[in-house]
Amino acid sequence: MLDTLIQGLLLGGLYALFALGLSLMFGVMRLTNIAHGDFIVLAGFAGVLVAGALGGQAWPAALLVIPIAFGLGWLLQRHLLNRTYGRDPLPSLVVTFGLSIVVQNALLEFLSADPRSLPTGGLSTASFALGQTQVGVLPLAIFCVALGCTAALQWLFARTAVGRAFRAVSDDRSIAELMGLDSMRVYALATAVAFALIALAGVLQAMRTTVAPTDGPQLLIYAFEAVIIGGMGSFWGTLIGALVLGVVQQIGFRFDPGWGIWFGHLVFLAMLVVRPQGLFPKTR
Amino acid sequence: MTAHVVRSTRSSRVALALSLAWLVMAASLPFWGEASWMREFTEMSAYFIFAMMWNLLAGYGGMVSIGQQAFFGLGGYTMVALANLAGIDPFVSIALAALLAGLIAVPVSWVAFRLQGGYFAIGTWVIAEVMRLTVANIDAVGGGSGTSLTAFRGMDRTLREHTTYWVALAAVVATLAGVYLFLRSKQGLALQAIRDSEVAAESQGVAVQRTKLAVYVVAAFGGGLAGALYFVSTLRISPDAAFGINWTAFAIFIVVVGGIGRIEGPIIGATLFWLLNKFFADYGTWYQIGLGLLAIVVAVAFRQGLWGWLQQRTGLTLFPTTRWLQPPAQAASDAAPGQP
Amino acid sequence: MAAAPNLQERPAPAAVIATHGLTASYGDAQALFGIDFQLGENEVVAIIGANGAGKSTFLKCLTGLVPARRESIELHGERIGGLAPNAIVKRGVAMVPEGRRLFPSLSVEENLLMGAFARRPGPWSLERLYALFPILKEKRHHPGTALSGGQQQMVAIGRALMSNPQVLLCDELSLGLAPIVIKEIYDALPAIVAEGMSVVVVEQDVAVAQRVSSRVYCFQEGRVSLVGPSDALSREQISLAYFGV
C-alpha cells in the first residue's frame, strides 16, 4: 500500500507540472488552452530533436527548449490568442482546438507516429530502496521540480510586482489599465511563463517515458483533472490535486492495468458532483 | 395605421420552394443514382446532423462542448446492441438509440453543468472519454476492437442501401425542420435571449436552467441519432471510431466556418466540408492541418463565418427565425425588409 | 437648445484640461453631445447632474476608457482624446473610479502599489499616504475589499495619488458613505490640492460639490446646462440646470 502511495505521489508530481501552466493561464486570463497537452508533447519532441542535434545530451536540450518555449508562448498570446479575448468563450476554444489539430498533424507529418524519448544516460532507470519500495531517481527529481515550481509560482504571484500585475489584470482589466498596465502585454507574459512550464513538463515527460504525437489530449485531461480536483485559484491547490490524481490512478493500476486512468476520471467526476469548487478553492 | 409583423422574406420563400424541389429530387436518387452516392450522402448527413446539434448547443445555447461525441458513440453502440443482441430492427433501433442518448443526457448534465465556459468544454470531453473507456471494456459489443452490425444478415443489399438512404434523408429533413420550427417558437426566442444575456433573460422570466437542460437533451438526442445513422451505414463500430474527438472537430469546423448561430451556416459548412473532403482528404495530415488553420483564421477574422459574412453584405436570410416590424407603407409591397 | 448660461469670467489662459465639443457613445446610444470644459491649474472643479447625465462617461473619456476623437480632449495643449488608458495615466491623469473598484485579490498596500505602476516624479509615496490616511497603515496587509466603505475610498484615492498625477478625477466619492465619512474624505482634499494638483470632482450631492470646489459644471442629458463659480450659483439656477424644469 505504501508503495502505491509513493508511486502515486511521484506520478502526481509530473501531473502537477502538466497542470501548473493550465492553471496559470486560466487564472490570469480565463483562457482555456485546448492545445495545452499538444504543446507539452511538442516540447518533448523539441527536446528530443535538440538533444539529437547536440549529440545526445538531455540536459542542455532541456535548457534550450525552455527559453524558446517562453518566447513562443509570448508571441502566441500577443499575436493570436489576444485576438480571441472577450466575453464569448467560443473563439479562444476554437482557436486552441485548431492549434491542437495543427500541432498533432504537423508532428505526425514531420516526425511519424512513433513514440520517442530523451535519453538520460541511465538516470531514467536508476532507483534506490526506501524501506520496501523502489523509488526511481528521475521520478523523485521530477517531484522535487514540481514542488519547486509550485513554490516559485506562488512566490511570483504573491511577492513580486509581476505577480501583482497578474492578479490585478485578472481581477479587473480596465481598472488595471487605468493604473498604467498594458493588459495585452501582461497576458503575453503570463502565457510565456505558462509555456516555460509546459516545456519543462514536456522535456521531463520525454525523459521519464515517451512522447508520441497523439498523446496531447490525454495529458490535457490529466492537467485539467488535477486543476479541478485541487480547486481553481491557488497553485498549491493544483499541486495537491495532481498528487491526489496520481495516487488515485496508481490505486486503479493496482487492481487492473486498464483501470488506472478510469479511476482517475471517476474521482474527478465525483469531485465535480460532491465538491465542484475543488479541495482548495480561492475564497476571494 | 398599424405596422405588420413579418416572418418571412422573399428570399426565404424562394429558398423554401427550391428546398422542396431538391427534396423531391433527392428522394428519387435511389432510382437513378449510384450506391456510393447514397452511402456518401448518409455519412454526410451524420456529420451534418451532428453539426446542427453542436450549433444548437453552442451557437444558440451558449454552451461550447467538445464532448458531444459521447452521445454520438452512445447512439451508435445502443443501436448495435439493440439490433445485434435484442433482435430489434436496426432502423427502429436508430430511433430508440436517439431516445436513450437524450435520456442519458439528463444525469450527465448533473455533472457537466457544474462547470462553465472553457472548463465545461473540457469536462464534457472527459465524460466522453469515460464512456469510451467504459464501452471498451464491455465484451458483449466487442470490447476495445469493436464489432460488426450483424442484424442485416439475410436482408437484400439494395433494399438495405435504399432504406438506409431514405432514413438518412428523413433524418436530415426532420432535423432541419425541427430546429427551424423550434427557433421560430417562443422557446427558441427564449434560448436566444439566454445566449445574449443569461441575467437579462432570467429577469424577463425565462427559466434559464430548464431551457439549457432542454437544449442539452435535444442536442444529445440529435447526436445519438447521427451516431446510430452513421453506423447503420458503415456496419462496423469500435470505441475509437464512435467516441473519437474528430466528430467534434468536424462539427466545429462545419459550424464555425459555415456560420455559427444561424441555420444556413451548417448547411454551407457541411457542403464546403464535403467538397474539401472529396478533393483533399487524400492528403491526410496536410488536409487536417489545412482544416485546423482555416478554422483558426475564421474564428479570429471572420467570427460570423461564411454565411454571416454573406448575410452582412446582402441581408439574405433563407431560414428566418426572427420577426421584423414592417412599416405600414411597406406592407403593400412585398420587398424583403433587410437585416433582421 | 439655448447655449448654457455661462456666469464665469474668462477662464485662466493655461487650462490643464480642455475639451472641445466632446461626444461619446456606447454602441448606438449617444451619451455626450458636445461638451466644452476647462480645468485650470490648481483648480477644484465639480461636475453635478442627475443619474445618466453623462458625468461618469465624461471622466471615462478623459481617462481613455471610452473612445473620443483625438482633438476633442487636450492636456496642456496636447491632444489626448482616444488614447489608451495606460498612455493617459503616464501623462499624469489619474482617476478614482466610481464604486472604488479595488482589486479584491490584492491587499491594501498592494492596491496602493498598483497605483505606483505608472509612477511619475512627485511628492506622493506610501509614507505620505499613510500620513494622510493613518488607518490605511494599520490595515495595510488586509485584503482591499475587507475594509469599510470609507476606508476603501481612501485606498482608491491613495491608489490614484501614487502615480503622482497632475490631474485627479474623482467619480462620486460620496457614493454609499455616511455623511461623517464623506466629510472626512473631502477634508483631505485641500492637502492634495496644495501639492499642485488640479482636481475634478463628480458628485451627486450638490451641497458637497459646491463646498469643495471653486467652479461647478452641471450636466444634463449629455450636455452642459450650467457653469459658474460655486459660491455664486443660487438654488433655483442649479435646480433648473440639474433637472431642466
User: Is residue B58 less than 8 Å (CB to CB) from chain A?
Assistant: yes
Q: How far is CA B244 from CA A194, B129, B220, B281, in A?
A: 28, 9, 16, 18
CA distance A234 to chain C (A): 12
Cα angle for residues B315, B316, B320 (degrees, 5° grid): 110
Range of the domain at B85: 10-245
Q: How far is CA A239 from CA A14, A23, A144, A145, in A?
A: 10, 10, 12, 12
Give the number of A-C residue pairs with CB atoms closer than 8 Å: 66
pLDDT at C8: 53
Cα angle for residues A243, A244, A246 (degrees, 5° grid): 65
Residue A164 is nearest to which of C84, C104, C110, comparing CB atoms? C110
- pLDDT tens digit string along C47-90? 999 888 899 999 999 999 999 999 899 999 899 988 999 899 99
Question: Is the Cβ–Cβ distance between C103 and C92 less than 8 Å?
Answer: no
Question: In the numeric block, which cell numbers belong to residue A120?
Answer: 538520460
Range of the domain at A80: 2-116+135-214
Q: Indicate if the pLDDT at residue B339 is higher than 80.
A: no
C159: CATH: 3.40.50.300
pLDDT at C240: 80
Q: How far apart are CA B204 and CA C245, in angstroms?
A: 34
User: How many domains is chain A partitioned into structurally?
Assistant: 1
* Cβ pair A276:B114 closer than 8 A: yes
pLDDT at B329: 63
- pLDDT tens digit string along C114-123? 999 988 898 9
pLDDT at B320: 73
Q: How far apart are CA B44 and CA B226, in angstroms?
A: 10
Mean pLDDT of the region B206-224 = 89
The larger pLDDT score, comparing residue B23 to residue B220, is at: B220
Kind plus residue range of the DSSP H or E element containing A77 = helix A58-79
Is the pTM higher than 0.90? The answer reads no
pLDDT at C5: 58
Neighbors of chain A with 3 or more C-beta pairs under 8 Å: B, C
- pLDDT tens digit string along A152-171? 999 999 999 999 999 999 99
Position A139 in a domain: yes
Mean pLDDT of the region B37-61 = 92
Q: Indicate if the pLDDT at residue B227 is higher than 60.
A: yes
pLDDT at B336: 46
* Cβ pair A177:C86 closer than 8 A: yes
Question: Is the Cβ–Cβ distance between B258 and B265 less than 8 Å?
Answer: yes
First to last CA, chain B: 22
ipTM computed for the complex: 0.88
Give me chain A's average pLDDT, please. Answer: 90
Sign of CA dihedral C116, C122, C127, C133: negative
pLDDT at B12: 78
- pLDDT tens digit string along B298-329? 999 888 888 888 888 887 777 777 666 777 66
Q: Indicate if the pLDDT at residue C217 is higher than 80.
A: yes
Mean pLDDT of the region A208-217 = 92
Q: For B132, what's the count of Cα atoms within 13 Å in the CB-facing half-sphere?
A: 22
Position B301 in a domain: no
Cα angle for residues A47, A52, A57 (degrees, 5° grid): 75
Chains B and C touch (3+ CB pairs under 8 A): no
Question: In the numeric block, which cell numbers belong to residue C169?
Answer: 478625477
- pLDDT tens digit string along A243-280? 999 999 999 988 888 788 889 999 999 988 888 888 88
Position C139 in a domain: yes
Residue A269 is nearest to which of B130, B133, B260, comparing CB atoms? B130
- pLDDT tens digit string along B83-142? 988 888 889 999 999 999 999 999 999 999 988 888 899 999 999 999 999 999 888 888
Q: How far apart are CA C223 and CA C1, in angstroms?
A: 10
- pLDDT tens digit string along A58-102? 788 888 999 999 999 999 999 999 998 887 888 999 999 999 999
Position B278 in a domain: no
Position B306 in a domain: no
Give me chain C's average pLDDT, please. Answer: 88
Mean pLDDT of the region B264-293 = 90
Residues of C in contact with A170 (CB under 8 A): 105
Q: How far is CA A227 from CA A18, A234, B88, B160, B189, in A?
A: 10, 9, 44, 49, 36
Residue A95 is nearest to which of B110, B130, B299, comparing CB atoms? B299
Q: Indicate if the pLDDT at residue B239 is higher than 80.
A: yes
Q: Are strands C93-96 and C167-171 parallel, antiparallel or unpaired?
A: parallel
- Tell me, letter by letter, the H, E, C secondary structure of chain B: CCCEEECCCHHHHHHHHHHHHHHHHHHCHHHHCCHHHHHHHHHHHHHHHHHHHHHHHHHHCCCCCCCCHHHHHHHHHHHHHHHHHCCCCHHHHHHHHHHHHHHHHHHHHHHHCCCCHHHHHHHHHHHHHHHHHHHHCCHHHCHHHCEECCCCCCCCHHHHHHHHHHHHHHHHHHHHHHHHHHHHCHHHHHHHHHHHCHHHHHHCCCCHHHHHHHHHHHHHHHHHHHHHHHHHHHCEECHHHHCCCHHHHHHHHHHHHHCCCCCHHHHHHHHHHHHHHHHHHHHCHHHHHHHHHHHHHHHHHCCCHHHHHHHHHHCCCCCCCCCEEECHHHHCCCCCCCCC
Q: Indicate if the pLDDT at residue B49 is higher than 50.
A: yes
Q: Indicate if the pLDDT at residue C3 is higher than 60.
A: no
Q: Are strands C215-220 and C44-49 parallel, antiparallel or unpaired?
A: parallel
Question: In the numeric block, which cell numbers belong to residue B181?
Answer: 420550427
User: Is residue A181 less than 8 Å (CB to CB) from chain C?
Assistant: yes
Residues of A in contact with C101 (CB under 8 A): 172, 175
User: Is residue A158 less than 8 Å (CB to CB) from chain C?
Assistant: no
> Which amino acid, B103?
L
Question: Is the Cβ–Cβ distance between A202 and A116 less than 8 Å?
Answer: no
Mean pLDDT of the region B173-190 = 85
Range of the domain at C195: 15-243
Question: Is the Cβ–Cβ distance between B226 and B50 less than 8 Å?
Answer: yes
A96-127 burial, b at 16+ Cβ within 10 Å, e below that, comes to bbbbbbbbbbbbbeeeeeeebbbebeeebeee
C32-62 burial, b at 16+ Cβ within 10 Å, e below that, comes to bbebbbbbbebbbbbbbbeeebbbbbbbbbb
User: How many domains is chain C partitioned into structurally?
Assistant: 1
Question: Is the Cβ–Cβ distance between A10 and A136 less than 8 Å?
Answer: yes
The larger pLDDT score, comparing residue B337 to residue C20, is at: C20
Give me chain B's average pLDDT, please. Answer: 86
User: Is residue B133 less than 8 Å (CB to CB) from chain A?
Assistant: yes
Q: How far is CA B262 from CA B215, B225, B304, B311, in A?
A: 16, 21, 9, 10
Sign of CA dihedral C88, C93, C94, C99: negative
Q: How far apart are CA A9 and CA B68, in angstroms?
A: 33
- Chain C residues 12-71 within an 8 A CB cutoff of chain A: 63-65
User: How many domains is chain B partitioned into structurally?
Assistant: 1
Position C186 in a domain: yes
Q: How far apart are CA B91 and CA A60, in angstroms?
A: 61
* Cβ pair C113:A179 closer than 8 A: no
The larger pLDDT score, comparing residue A86 to residue B206, is at: A86
Among A76-80, B78-82, B114-118, C138-142, the range scoring the smallest mean pLDDT is B114-118
Chains C and A touch (3+ CB pairs under 8 A): yes
Residue A99 is nearest to which of B118, B286, B296, comparing CB atoms? B296
Position C143 in a domain: yes
Question: Is the Cβ–Cβ distance between B325 and B2 less than 8 Å?
Answer: no
Q: Indicate if the pLDDT at residue A118 is higher than 80.
A: yes
Q: Which of C97, C243, C68 has the alpha carbon at shortest distance from C168? A: C97
Residues of C in contact with A156 (CB under 8 A): none
Position B302 in a domain: no
Residues of A in contact with B108 (CB under 8 A): none
Residues of B in contact with A89 (CB under 8 A): 64, 117-118, 121
Residue C101 is nearest to which of A165, A170, A175, comparing CB atoms? A175
Position C228 in a domain: yes
User: Is residue A26 less than 8 Å (CB to CB) from chain B?
Assistant: yes
Question: Is the Cβ–Cβ distance between B149 and B231 less than 8 Å?
Answer: yes
Give the three-state DSSP class for C88: helix
Q: Are strands C73-75 and C15-26 parallel, antiparallel or unpaired?
A: antiparallel
Q: Indicate if the pLDDT at residue C162 is higher than 90.
A: yes
Residue B197 — φ and ψ, nearest 5°? Answer: -165, 110
Q: Indicate if the pLDDT at residue B288 is higher than 60.
A: yes
pLDDT at B184: 82
Give the three-state DSSP class for A124: coil
Q: Are strands B147-148 and A127-130 parallel, antiparallel or unpaired?
A: unpaired
Percent of chain A with pLDDT over 90: 63
Residues of A in contact with C100 (CB under 8 A): none
The larger pLDDT score, comparing residue C4 to residue B48, is at: B48
